Amino acid sequence: MTWMIIRLVLSLVLIAGVLWFAARLAKKKGLGQGNGLIEVVARQRMGRTSAVSVVRVADLVLVIGSTEEQVTLLAEVDPEAVEAAMDGRRGPARPRAADEPHEDAAPPPVPAPRAARPSDGVLAGSVLDRQGWGTLVDELRERTVRRS
C-alpha cells in the first residue's frame, strides 16, 4: 500500500516537472502569445455567434465583423480617431489642442431624475407595480433617444 502512494507522488512530481518545462520552453519560444503586431482594440458581441471587432495591425486600424463561418472587413478607420475615442473613454488624460474649447465652457445640462409615478393599487411600491415599470421604461427610452 505504501509503495502505491510513493509511486503516485513520484508520478505527480514527474508530470508537474514536464508541464513546468513545457511552459518555460513555450514562453522562451514565444508560443501562445501575440507578437505585438496585431492588437484587438475593442470587441462588441452582436449576437450569440457574431461580433464586431476593432483590430490594430501595425499602423492600420480595421473594423472586422466575425461569425462562426466567416470574417468580413467592414471598414478601415483613421488611427487618430480611434486613439481619441479610447482617450475619451479613459478620461481627460490627453492634452488639449488649440482649437478645442476651454474647460471653463459650460457642460451640457444633465436632466434631473424623475420620480416614479404614484400608484394607489395594492401592489403600489412593489416590484409588481405596473406604474413603476412604466416609469422605468419611459426613463430608459428617454436616455437612449439621439438628439441632434
d(CA 87, CA 95): 10
| 29 and 44 together in one domain | no
For 22, the domain range is 1-33
| 17 and 3 together in one domain | yes
Domain boundary among 46, 61, 92: 92
| 40 and 71 together in one domain | yes
Strand stretches in 1-148, DSSP E: 38-45, 51-57, 60-66, 71-77
Domain boundary among 45, 68, 92: 92
CA angle 89–83–39, rounded 5-degree value: 100
Cell 519560444 belongs to which residue? 29
| 17 and 43 together in one domain | no
| 77 and 63 together in one domain | yes
Up-side HSE of residue 136: CA atoms within 13 Å toward CB?
Answer: 8
Supply the pLDDT for residue 20: 94
Supply the pLDDT for residue 121: 60
| 62 and 77 together in one domain | yes
d(CA 137, CA 117): 12
Span 37-78, pLDDT tens digits: 788 888 889 888 899 998 888 888 899 999 999 988 888 888
| 57 and 25 together in one domain | no
Q: How far is CA 24 from CA 10, 16, 17, in A?
A: 21, 12, 11
- Domains in the chain, number: 2
> Does a structural domain hold residue 10?
yes
Ranges of the chain with pLDDT below 70: 30-36, 89-132, 146-148
CA proximity to 130, closest of 116, 141, 111, 114: 116
For residue 77, give every residue at least 6 positions away whose Cβ sits within 8 Å of its Cβ, in sequence order, or none. Answer: 54, 61, 62, 63
* Side chain identity at residue 112, one-letter code: A
Supply the pLDDT for residue 140: 78
